[in-house]
Structure formats: structure tokens, C-alpha cells
């Protein structure tokens, strides 16, 4: 029997959304009040999880940019004798923006 592919977070969120929507429809039709509320809360949490993942990816990109900038500054400090000059800092600021 072939192994199933690993479940990714995106797939879990998709499956959870489908299950919550289906169960909410069943709960509405069968008039089971607490099930509908659980599904509503679950469906409310899913966008929060997606936003958190987006923010994490964004923060990692920002940190990667900061890392590259710090490495550039280290290289400038170790290779340049006039690193304290205003012109050098202006050039660094120009390339960083």
C-alpha cells in the first residue's frame, strides 16, 4: 500500500473548514444548538491561524533582510578605513532603502 502524502497545515485548515461547515449545516437542520456554536468558533479561529502564519512568514523575511544588512555592515566595518565618514553612511543608507 503506498504511503499517503504528509498532511500540511494548509490541508488541515481546508479539511477543518469543510468539516465545520458540513457539521454546522447538520446541526442547523437537526436543531442541535451547541454544535452550531462550536462550528462557528472553529470557523472564526481558522482565519486567525492563517493570519498568524502569514505574519510569521513576513517576520522571517524581515529578519532575513536585517541579517543581510548586518552582514554588509560587518563587511564594511572590517574592510573600510573610513567607515565613520558621513558619506559612507549615506551610501549605506541609500542602498538599504
Q: At what angle do helices 33-79 and 86-96 cross, to 10 degrees?
A: 150
pLDDT per residue rounded down to tens, the chain (97 residues): 555 666 788 889 999 999 999 999 998 898 888 888 899 999 999 999 988 988 988 899 999 988 888 887 777 777 766 666 667 667 767 776 6
Contacts of 27 (CB under 8 A, 6+ apart): 33, 35, 36, 39
Domain ranges of the chain: 9-96
**pTM of this structure:** 0.58
Separation CA 80–CA 69 (nearest Å): 16
Contacts of 23 (CB under 8 A, 6+ apart): 35, 39
**In this structure, what DSSP letter does residue 31 have?**
T
Please state, as a whole number, how many other Cβ atoms lie within 10 Å of the Cβ of residue 24: 18
Beta carbons of 88 and 82 less than 8 angstroms apart = yes
Amino acid at each position: 500500500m503506498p504511503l499517503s502524502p504528509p498532511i500540511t497545515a494548509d490541508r488541515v485548515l481546508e479539511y477543518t473548514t469543510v468539516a465545520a461547515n458540513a457539521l454546522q449545516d447538520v446541526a442547523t437542520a437537526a436543531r442541535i444548538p451547541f454544535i452550531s456554536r462550536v462550528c462557528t468558533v472553529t470557523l472564526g479561529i481558522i482565519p486567525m491561524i492563517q493570519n498568524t502564519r502569514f505574519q510569521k512568514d513576513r517576520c522571517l523575511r524581515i529578519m532575513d533582510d536585517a541579517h543581510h544588512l548586518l552582514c554588509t555592515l560587518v563587511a564594511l566595518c572590517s574592510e573600510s578605513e573610513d567607515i565613520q565618514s558621513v558619506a559612507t553612511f549615506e551610501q549605506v543608507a541609500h542602498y538599504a532603502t
